[in-house]
Amino acid sequence: MKLITPIFSLVAILALVPVSVLSQTPDFVALTKQLKPAVVNISSSKKNHNSDKRNFFDDFFNAFTGDKNTESLGSGFLISSDGYILTNDHVVDDASEIRVQLVGGKTYPATVKGIDQKLDLALVKIDTNEILPTVKLGSSEQLEIGEWVMAIGNPFGLEQTVTVGIVSAKGRVIGAAPYDNFIQTDASINPGNSGGPLFNTRGEVVGINTAIVAGSHGIGFAIPIDTAKRILPQLKKTGHVNRGWLGITIQKVSDDLAATFKLTARTGALITSVERSSPAQRAQLQRGDIILAFNTIKINAISDLPVLLNNVTIGDLVELSIFRNGITKTFTIKVDESHTHGDAAPPATTPRNPLGATMMDITPELQLRLGLLADTGVVITSVQANGAAANAKLQPGDVIVEFNNQPLANQSDLTTCLDNSASSKLQRLFIQRGEGLFFTTVRLQ
């Protein structure tokens, strides 16, 4: 009886599994035979590494070579029969020589035709008279969480390695670049898989394998193929990518900031500056506006906005849903082409206040001595331990530009604002720190 019980248990478990799951297990053997010929091994001889150009992916790519100035290995896949190959930028970045090995061992020199460091993508090409096998580019947008996927690449230099798994998540933000929007998969990805394809069960490329979490198992990340497809024509034509530009800087909306703006939910992207002569200024956007939606798509986090902007074309008209002074309005903006573009603090001269800090008015002399960028406002010269300013993580040298949306010309303006705000302890400040601008909140004491 004890020997039979597990069998009955197994039958019972299988009875609970949908028939579709049991009958639709992918034929990975057939897929592997079909897809392997279009996946290539890329080796590159690196130039002396420039530490100023170091990016998020360098540690991943060089994890097993141990030397950034010697031979490095990665993967790629053929997207055209005349030799165009898609891979990661960090696979070929700063390479003095690039070689591509096809299935069967034939090796060709390759040249870089286009790079996009912000997305970590590169387009390289080999020259041959052969008609080369290619892959079909699918849709990452239609990819479902839980769907089977297969990775082919050269992990640790082991050529044409196949691993399978599922899509664990979509839209992952891992701090790699301004356009983070990764597919997470548990299909095994290791150093050397970089630039290789992630396939769905129809044999279509849905992602470009790019990164792993150090020391983790079963957590890999791939760039969505839809993101790559949008920039491929530019990479092929010009070798680089021109992106849409609004001319704003943004920050996260915290719970406290949402409360001071009287915003019911902690969503959206808070505008901290609007560049002169920018599309945003022409559309009359303002500092302190909160972008709630982009072309009707809700902005849940500030990382959503760059991704959405990356998906539009220069010259497009986009609609932004803006929360301003308790009212939601719609603004239409024409997307433009992106632009590339210390002495010690003096002694405090004012008594402490409910902020728990000492401050001074900005003067031309003080502006020069401290290297301040702001023309008006109140500069913090010291912060009291455990005071309101300290709890808000304000620092000496910070300039309070606005208090609850009220511009400050001097300490007198700040005193007036403090006097008028006695009924509410939670206040919103607009701060300049170095070259950065941001909103924060402070609880008065």
Q: Catalytic residue numbers?
A: 90, 120, 194
Angle at 393 (CA atoms; ends 392, 395), nearest 5 degrees: 125
77 residue type, one letter: F
Distances from the Cα of 345 to the Cα of 8, 286, 355, 415, angstroms: 78, 31, 18, 22
* Count, residues in the chain: 445
Q: Are 162 and 150 in contact (CB under 8 A)?
A: yes
CA pair distance 266, 47, nearest whole angstrom: 46
- Closest alpha carbon to 168 in 192, 195, 189: 189
For residue 261, count CB atoms less than 10 angstroms from its CB and return exposed for 0-12, middle for 13-18, buried for 19 or more: buried
21 forms bridges with which residues in the sheet? none
CA pair distance 12, 19, nearest whole angstrom: 13
> How many of the other CB atoms lie within 10 Å of CB of 174?
15
336 forms bridges with which residues in the sheet? 245
- Listed in order, strand segments (DSSP E) in 179-243 are 182-185, 197-199, 204-212, 220-224
Dihedral sign of CA atoms 101, 107, 109, 111 in order: negative
3-state class (DSSP) for residue 59 = helix
- Closest alpha carbon to 265 in 293, 223, 237, 226: 293
Q: Are 163 and 189 in contact (CB under 8 A)?
A: yes
- DSSP single-letter state for residue 335: P
Residue 40: half-sphere exposure toward Cβ, Cα within 13 Å: 32
